[in-house]
Amino acid sequence: MGGRRRKKVIVKKVKKTLPKIFVCPNCGGKNLTISINKEENEEVRVAIVKCGRCNLSDTVEITKVEDIVDAYGKFIDKYYGVVKK
Ligand SMILES: [Zn+2]
């Protein structure tokens, strides 16, 4: 694994549902996209996580006050909670 440094990503609050690119915890590539099905009425929304490099995919639930960044955080927690090295 190339020692890629984890850097803080500053994410602006946006209203649009543009997919964001994150670093994949599985392959380390910056190929992880998260998209949210934005249903304004829903209390819980589903964020779809997908890596274009290693085909890792998952879904996490977020509340309507949370954003893609929160989805990513939850996904990371879930990933490391499930996969033990
Ligand atoms: Zn990956």
Secondary structure, 3-state, the chain: CCCCCCCCCCCCCCCCCCCEEECCCCCCCCCEEEEECCCCCCCEEEEEEEECCCCCEEEEEEECCCCHHHHHHHHHHHHHHHCCC
* Per-domain residue ranges of the chain: 20-82
Can you give the length of the chain in residues? Answer: 85
Tell me which architecture the domain covering 20-82 has in CATH: Single Sheet (2.20)
Dist. CA 28 → ligand 1 center (Å): 6
pLDDT at 19: 60
Dist. CA 23 → ligand 1 center (Å): 8
Q: In the numeric block, which tokens belong to residue 16? A: 């649009």
Sign of the CA dihedral 41, 56, 16, 9? positive
Torsion, Cα of 64, 75, 34, 2 (10° steps): 150
What is the chain's pLDDT, residue by residue, as a tens digit (85 residues)? 566 677 777 766 655 555 689 999 999 999 999 998 776 677 889 999 999 999 999 999 999 889 899 999 999 999 999 755 5
Dist. CA 45 → ligand 1 center (Å): 23
Dist. CA 67 → ligand 1 center (Å): 21
- Collect residues with CB below 5 Å from ion ligand 1: 24, 26-27, 51, 53-54, 56
Q: In the numeric block, which tokens belong to residue 19? A: 């997919």
pTM equals: 0.69
